[in-house]
């Protein structure tokens, strides 16, 4: 797929919500997206991760038939809080190191009855899908992921990082430990914020935006502390890495 389009290019898309394109996909979901979907479903992020996630909490789980668990006969069950990749579909987005972006259109799903046209622009489509805050959250979490990956590289491939609220209840003061997969506890905003706020005697924010802001701050502080206490760097300037945010969305 060649990423040649920009926001000024003519594009419009009217989906019929048949759900056929929600089969056989790997849908990435960051902590902020998991929080939004959890709130819509009326459950916590810990329960969401258990019921609906795969790959260490980084993707949505598909059913045995390959369909996303949120497909219903009338469309997406979590449509108002669907992840970024679902908002952008049928567009994909790629960014370069300088922050420039380009778009491409995925090949049409077999049987798709959506109307593709030129009634608007890609910018119009992005606005209509509520994409912008998700791009910003993805960029900010991507920067933190980059720092975390740099830290893991410093500590060695066997290292494990437990953010505040991890299942070990190690808390923000825990030193990096050897062992398992790091990402699922990182994804769990409710658990992370419960531990962070409990340790500081502050209330957990009720709003989604406020909770995401505090989680970003908590993760940043946690990484600041780990980086300060980790052995001397052996990989250079991982702090400025922005791998996840710089990838395709």
Q: Which is nearer to ligand SF4, 22 or 131 (CB)?
A: 22
Q: Which is nearer to ligand SF4, 83 or 165 (CB)?
A: 83
Name the one residue in this structure whose structure tokens are 């019921």.
51
Cα(164)–Cα(155) distance, integer angstroms: 19
- Residue 187 CB, nearest approach to ligand SF4 (Å): 16
Cα(105)–Cα(24) distance, integer angstroms: 18
Cα(234)–Cα(108) distance, integer angstroms: 45
- Residue 112 CB, nearest approach to ligand SF4 (Å): 3
Q: Which of residues 90-119 bind ligand SF4 (CB under 6 A)?
A: 109, 112-114
Q: Which is nearer to ligand SF4, 20 or 233 (CB)?
A: 20
- Residue 215 CB, nearest approach to ligand SF4 (Å): 21
Q: Which of residues 64-93 bind ligand SF4 (CB under 6 A)?
A: 68, 70-71, 76, 78, 82, 86
Cα(17)–Cα(23) distance, integer angstroms: 13
Cα(169)–Cα(189) distance, integer angstroms: 14
Cα(231)–Cα(242) distance, integer angstroms: 22
Both tokens of 11, joined, read 């594009």
Cα(23)–Cα(242) distance, integer angstroms: 30
x-marked contacts with ligand SF4 along 167-186 as a string, rule CB under 6 A: --------------------
Cβ–Cβ under 8 Å, residues 7 and 123? yes
Cβ–Cβ under 8 Å, residues 243 and 136? no
User: Which stretch, 10-18, 135-143, 195-203, 222-230, contacts ligand SF4 (CB under 6 A)?
Assistant: 10-18
Q: Which is nearer to ligand SF4, 61 or 160 (CB)?
A: 61
Which one of residues 5, 22, 35, 193 is an interface residue with ligand SF4 (CB under 6 A)? 22
Chain residues binding ligand SF4 by CB under 6 A are 15-22, 25, 27, 60, 68, 70-71, 76, 78, 82, 86, 109, 112-114
């Amino acid at each position: 797929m060649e990423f040649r389009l920009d926001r000024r290019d003519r594009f419009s898309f009217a989906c019929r919500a048949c759900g056929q394109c929600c089969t056989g996909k790997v849908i990435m979901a960051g902590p902020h997206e998991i929080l939004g979907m959890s709130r819509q479903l009326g459950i916590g992020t810990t329960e969401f991760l258990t019921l609906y996630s795969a790959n260490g909490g980084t993707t949505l789980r598909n059913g045995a038939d390959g369909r996303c668990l949120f497909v219903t006969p009338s469309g997406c069950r979590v449509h108002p809080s669907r992840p970024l990749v679902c908002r952008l579909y049928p567009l994909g987005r790629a960014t370069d190191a300088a922050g420039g972006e380009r778009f491409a259109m995925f090949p049409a799903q077999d049987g798709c009855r959506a109307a593709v046209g030129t009634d608007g622009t890609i910018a119009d489509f992005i606005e209509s899908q509520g994409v912008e805050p998700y791009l910003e959250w993805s960029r900010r979490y991507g920067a933190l992921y980059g720092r975390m990956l740099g830290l893991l590289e410093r500590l060695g491939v066997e290292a494990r990082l437990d953010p505040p609220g991890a299942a070990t209840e190690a808390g923000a003061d825990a030193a990096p430990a050897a062992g398992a997969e790091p990402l699922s506890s990182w994804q769990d905003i409710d658990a992370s914020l419960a531990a962070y706020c409990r340790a500081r005697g502050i209330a957990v924010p009720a709003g989604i935006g406020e909770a995401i802001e505090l989680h970003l701050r908590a993760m940043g502080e946690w990484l600041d502390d780990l980086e300060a206490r980790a052995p001397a760097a052996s990989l250079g300037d991982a702090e400025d890495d922005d791998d996840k945010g710089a990838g395709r969305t």
